[in-house]
Amino acid sequence: MNLLVSTEWLAAELGKSDLRVIDASLFLPAHNRNARAEFEAAHIPGAVFFDIEEVSDSSSPFPHMLPSAEKFASRMQALGLGDGSRVVVYDNSPIKSSARAWWMLTLFGAHQVAILDGGFAKWQAEGRAIESGIPVVRHRHFTVWADKALVRDKAQITENLRTHAEQVVDARPEARFTGAEPEARPNLRRGHIPGSRNIPIDRLFNEDGTWRPLDDIRAEFTSAGLDLSKPIVATCGSGITAAVLAFAGALLGHPGVAIYDGAWSEWGASPTTPIVTGPAV
C-alpha cells in the first residue's frame, strides 16, 4: 500500500477484512464546524471517527499533544484498529488533519498507514457511496508501543538554536510566520523560531485538495531553503499542520521529518523563548 492512495484504489479495496478506514477531520474554532457531527451525517462506508482532540494528552496545557502509548492503544482498540491492519486515513478539513492521524499511528507502531488523496471532498464529488450514523466495531488488539525519535520538545528546539543540527520548517500561513498577523489563540507572541523556514501547507495542494506532483512539492522545500538530505523538524500552531510537512517529507523519501509537538502554542506562549519577525533569512 502506497503512502498516498487514490479514491479509485480505496473504492476497490473497501470491505477487505484487513482494511480499516478512519475519518480524522479536525476543525479549529474559527471554522465553526463540528467534525464528529459531520462524520455521523456522512462518511465513507465502514469508516470510524478518530477524534484528534480526545486522543491527546488531556493533562497538557497545550492543544493536541501526544497521549501516552497506553491511551493511544486503548483508543485504537475501541475503534477496531488492530495489529496487522491496513489503515487509510482521510479528512474533510482545510487544515488537512489526516496527516496528524497518519503521523500518530506511525509513531505508535502501525506499519501500513496511508492518506486518501483528495479526502472526503473528492470522494463525495465523484458520487461514491457514503453512509451515516455511528458504526459498530469489534475491539481488536493494538500493541502498546511508541517510537518518539521523531518528536521534539522545547528544550531540544532551544538547543538546536545553538547547534543548528536540524533544519526547522514552519507550516503556518506566511502572515503568521512573519508576525504580520496575530495568532488566533490568546496570549501568543507574533513571529517565528529564529532560523526557521516557512512552507504554508496550501502550497502543497491542488485546487481540488489533491496533493501536487512530487516534483512541485520538492521544489517548495528547495525554494524554502531546505536540504532534503539533512534532518528536518516541522512545526506549526498546534502540531496539526506540521504533520502535513512530515507527510510531504515522507512522500519525497526523507527518512523522517520530526515534529515539535508543543509548536507555537508552547513557544509563542513563553516569555523567554527567542522570537523573530519578518521573512525567513
- Of 151, 236, 242, 248, catalytic: 236
236 included as an active-site residue: yes
Other beta carbons less than 10 A from residue 121's beta carbon:
15
Report the alpha-carbon angle 69-72-76, nearest 5.
135
Secondary structure of the chain as H, E, C letters:
CCCEECHHHHHHHCCCCCEEEEECCCCCHHHCCCHHHHHHHCECCCCEECCCCCCCCCCCCCCCCCCCHHHHHHHHHHCCCCCCCEEEEECCCCCCCHHHHHHHHHHCCCCEEEEECCHHHHHHHCCCCCECCCCCCCCCCCCCCCCHHHEECHHHHHHHHHHCCCEEEECCCHHHHHCCCCCCCCCCCCCECCCCEECCHHHHECCCCCECCHHHHHHHHHHCCCCCCCCEEEECCCCCCHHHHHHHHHHCCCCCCEEECCHHHHHCCCCCCCCECCCCC
C-alpha cell at 51: 477524534
End-to-end Cα separation, the chain, in angstroms = 39
- Report the alpha-carbon distance of residue 227 to residue 60 in Å, rounded: 33
**Active site members:** 236
